Amino acid sequence: MKNRKMTPAMRRNLAGYLFIAPALVGLLVFYAFPMLFSLGISFTDWNLRLSPNFVGGDNYKNLFQDQVYLKSIRVTFYYTLLAVPVSNVYALLMALLLNMKFKGRSVVRTIFYIPSIVPAVAAAGIWMYIFNPYNGFMNQLMQYFGWDPQMWIYSPSQVIPCIVVMAAWGAGGTAIIYLAALQGVPTVLYESVSIDGGNAVHKFFYITVPMISPIIFYNVIMGVINSMQVFTQGYIMTKGGPNNNSLFYVLLLYRRAFEQTTMGIACAMAWILFVILGVLTVLNFALSNRWVYYGGE
C-alpha cells in the first residue's frame, strides 16, 4: 500500500540508503567518535597522561614553523610523486603479461604475488642486502659495469628512489587489481580492432586503457592516499634517516603520538594530512571526468 504513495525517487532514495546502511552504521559507530575525538585533541596539549588543556590553533601554527615537520612533508611528496607512477606502470605491465595465455601462467602469477605477502621484516632484510654498500647485490652489479659503488639507502639523495623501487616490487597487489580489470574487458572489442586492421598498440590505447580507466583511476587515488601514508619502510629499514631524508609524514606522526606522546600535535598533523589528501582526491575526481570512461554510465 505504501508503494502507491512512494514516488520512484523516494523508492530510489530508500533503496540507496538501505544498501549503504552498513557503511552508515560503520561510520557512526567506528569512525565518527574517533575522528571527532582526534580533531578535538588537535586543539589541546594532551600527552596521554595529564588532562588535556585547550591551546587553540597553537599546534597548527607551530607546525608550519617546524623544520622537521616541513621536511617530512617534502620527503613524503617526493616519494609519492615517484612511487605512484612507477608502481602503477610496473603493475600494469605485470598484469598485461599475466593476462596472456601461456603455460605455467598460474605458477607465474603466484610467484608475482609473493612480494606482497612477504612479511615486512623479511622484505626489509632482503632489500638491505640488495642495497648494501659493502658487496650488496646492486653494488656488485655496478662494479660489473665498471661504475662506482653507491651508498643507496644510506645516501641522503638516493634513499627515496631506493624505497620507490621497493614499493614497485611490492606492487603485486596492484597488479592483481589490474588483472581483474583486464579480465573484464570483453574480447569482442579486441577482435573488432583486429578486424579493422589494428595492432597491439592500438588495442592497448583504444580499448584496454579506456575500458580499465575506472580501475586506473582507483589505483591512482589509492596510490596517492597510501603513498602519502607510507610508514613501514621508514620505520623498519631506514629509521627516517639519513639526516631525516626518509622521515615520512606518518612515521613522524607515529613517533610524536606514541614515543613523544604529544598527541595534540600528532592529531593536528593527522588533520592537516586529511586536508591535503582531501584536496588531492577532489582534484583527481574532478579531472577524472576527462579521461575515465564508465561503461555503465
| Residues 178-237 contacting other proteins, CB under 8 A | 179-181, 183-188, 211-212, 214-215, 217-218, 221-222, 225, 229
Distances (CA, A) of 252 to 106, 166, 261: 41, 20, 12
Q: How many residues bind other proteins (CB under 8 A)?
A: 122
In this chain, which stretch among 53-61, 81-89, 201-209, 258-266 interacts with other proteins, using CB under 8 A?
258-266
The nearest distance, CB 166 to other proteins, in angstroms, is 10
The nearest distance, CB 13 to other proteins, in angstroms, is 4
Residue 73 or 270 with smaller CB distance to other proteins: 270
Instruction: Specify the length of the chain in residues.
Output: 297
Residue 84 or 215 with smaller CB distance to other proteins: 215
Enumerate residues 148-167 that contact other proteins by CB under 8 A.
Answer: 151, 154-156
The nearest distance, CB 205 to other proteins, in angstroms, is 18
Distance of CA 181 to the CA centre of its chain: 18
Figure out which of the listed residues 85, 133, 161, 198 binds other proteins, where binding follows CB under 8 A: 133
Sequence-ordered alpha helix ranges (H) in 20-66: 21-26, 33-41, 58-63
The nearest distance, CB 209 to other proteins, in angstroms, is 13
Binding mask 4-33 for other proteins (x = CB under 8 A): -----x--xx-xxxxxx-xxxxxx-xxx-x
Nearest residue to 80 (alpha-carbon basis) of 252, 239, 242, 248: 248
Enumerate residues 92-131 that contact other proteins by CB under 8 A.
Answer: 94, 97, 99, 101, 106-123, 125-126, 128-129
In this chain, which stretch among 53-61, 78-86, 201-209, 274-282 interacts with other proteins, using CB under 8 A?
274-282
Residue 56 or 259 with smaller CB distance to other proteins: 259
Grid cell at residue 142: 655496478
Grid cell at residue 76: 613524503
The nearest distance, CB 55 to other proteins, in angstroms, is 15
Helix (H, G, I), strand (E, B) or coil at 109: helix
Check binding of 255 to other proteins (CB under 8 A): yes
Q: Is residue 203 within 8 Å of residue 186, measured between CB atoms? A: no
Q: How far apart are CA 97 and CA 91, in angstroms?
A: 10
Beta bridge partners of 54: 44
**Straight-line distance from the first to the last Cα atom of the chain, in angstroms, rounded to the nearest whole number:** 33
Distance of CA 122 to the CA centre of its chain: 21
The nearest distance, CB 158 to other proteins, in angstroms, is 12
Helices and strands in the chain, H and E counts: 17, 0
The nearest distance, CB 129 to other proteins, in angstroms, is 6
Residue 173 or 198 with smaller CB distance to other proteins: 173
Q: What is the dihedral of CA 154, 155, 158, 162, to 10 degrees?
A: 0
The nearest distance, CB 247 to other proteins, in angstroms, is 8
Distances (CA, A) of 118 to 97, 104, 112, 238: 22, 22, 11, 18
Check binding of 288 to other proteins (CB under 8 A): no
